[in-house]
Chains A and B, each alone.
Chain A
Amino acid sequence: MAQNERKTIYSYGYKRCADQDAAEPVRRPVVVVGAGPVGLAAAIDLAQRDVPVVLIDDADRIGEGSRGICWSKRTLEICDRLGVGEKLVEQGVTWKLGKVFHGDDLVFAFDLLPEEGHKMPAFINLQQYYLEKALCDRTDEFDNLDLRWRNKLTGIEPRNDHVRLTIETPEGPYRLDADWLIAADGARSSTRDLLGLQFSGVTFEDKFLIADIKMKADFPTERRFWFDPSFHSGQSALMHKQPDNVWRIDLQLGPDADVEAEQEPARVRARIERILGDIPFELEWVSIYRFNCRRLDRFVHGRVVFVGDAAHQVSPFGARGANSGIQDAENLAWKLAAVLRGEAGLSLIDSYERERTQAADENIAHSTRSTDFIAPHSSAERRLRNAVLDLADRTEFARRMINSGRLSVATVYDTTLSTPDEDAFKGSAKLGAPVPDAPMRTPKGEGHLLEHIPGEFTLLYVKNGAPPKVPDGVRLETVGADLSDSDGSFAQRFDATPGAAYLLRPDQHLCARWRHVDAAKITAARDRALGRN
């Protein structure tokens, strides 16, 4: 929980809208609360799917503080589909290596993307306000996306097939009806409070100092993590590069740290000088945090659907917060669009809850284990942790137990929307997971597979004579005709053989595959992925 107020980085203005002057509440298909990364992603994804969206936020600005900085490959792939991926990569610091030190000695290094042929890198670091700015700019390109600043949700009345909202503005309140309300209003969600919902989970006692500093240094772009370094004895430390010569420094302070005193600039500077020695630096942003690993029991409450931090929270080790929130948004957007078009029933929204609570549980488990390793609960647990670190330079098994954060990867959904394999497949493509990217050549030149899966059901068919007939609403892409496998990566990653076919959901997750397929099987798998059975 941040303890300080944030300065404004970008300002936006309140504008009166016609809904405020309507005699009766206007009915909207979707209202999204919260214009952070998750709410913005949900709103843009829906708008791209021709669903009109109202996005409201109680502020009128994007605030300072890097907050989220690590954006994962899957998040970048989603952002690419939303039209901002390349811009983010251009702005961000690309990295894939992590190093772990015990004391001042390197004990372990990892590479998060050891193979080539993916459009997006394993991770970029980019201040959250830049990502929010890029998404805000993108919203301007949609006539069916209405972003309303200084519109604060103050009331929710659940009705049978919609919710009636009360929204406070600088000119007074107005009411609005929504078929669906997406609550993306963050860790301190007022939607959650208005519905009286509680979190279950754990709060960690240890406090952490997070500082963003500006300095000119030629440290590597890797994620560097220390257990018990000489500059911060007995505790852990993390250092990571952001654009604009800004560096994230994260220092464990223990459970007894004084929150006020630890934020005093002189005290923070002294701690950082111990790390940097003589290198001059400026403090950009300082905050003290305690971490929660918890979630709502249910993410869907009638016509209100929770996404991101409003639904679940994790510690930051592993970058599983904002990244998983953006993946919530992607999972929900296509399903809500299908329900609103009448192509699917409410069971498809239930599948959002099942798939994303699976993801939340996975993220919470990883994040809890990382936090247990980084901040042991007792001296007996610390002894065990230190024994692992002591053994790490001589044994592989101990190196693999070191947990400074298991970094965010997409969840492989164990879901009824997938059609179980009838044929055996090897390769890195997994049923229920986003498909791996691969280089693809088209008549226009070299590119990547995921660029050709823009957000509809897609059958990827490996050419072997005439292609199968596909039902309405399914795109056909033929590898060996429209697309060609530039260097054999596709064949390897998909274990592709002539005639093989792969059905991808609108969120690029693999939901069915066959060595040989016919129209009936494709239709059945598509219907299943829409929750129709």
Chain B
Amino acid sequence: MAKLVTASQFAEPDDAYVTLVQARRGLSDEAAADLDTKLVLILANHIGDLDVLKEAIALAKRAK
């Protein structure tokens, strides 16, 4: 049973996207990768559900 929510949850999806863009604007690839890695850890803990995490990883690995 899928637990991962993939329906849009942000009232303003463009605001969410631009927030992520602004976070990495001007960063080197290295610094952006460091940022993303920390974000993954912070958000994964916020979700706090290993099944959701595994589904998200599977989805990310599939999407090309």
Contact = CB atoms under 8 A, between A and B. Distances in A.
Contacts of A386: 34
Interface stretch (B2-10, B18-26, B35-43, B51-59): B35-43
Contacts of A390: 34, 38
Interface residues of B, number: 8
Contacts of A387: 34, 37-38, 40-41
Interface stretch (A105-113, A134-142, A391-399, A482-490): A391-399
A275 interface: no
A195 interface: no
A390 B33 CA distance: 14
Contacts, number: 24
A397 B45 contact: yes
A395 B48 CA distance: 14
Contact of A395 (B33, B37, B40, B42): B42
A108 to B, nearest CB: 15
A162 B41 CA distance: 56
Contacts of A383: 33-34, 37
Interface string A99-138: 0000000000000000000000000000000000000000
Contacts of B34: 383, 386-387, 390
Interface string A253-288: 000000000000000000000000000000000000
A102 to B, nearest CB: 14
A384 interface: yes
Contacts of B41: 384, 387-388, 391, 397-398, 401
A361 B20 CA distance: 42
Nearest to A390: B38
B33 A391 contact: no
Given A391-B38, A395-B42, 11 more contacts: A383-B33, A383-B37, A386-B34, A387-B34, A387-B37, A387-B38, A387-B40, A390-B38, A395-B45, A397-B41, A397-B45
7 contacts: A383-B34, A384-B41, A386-B34, A391-B38, A395-B42, A395-B45, A398-B45
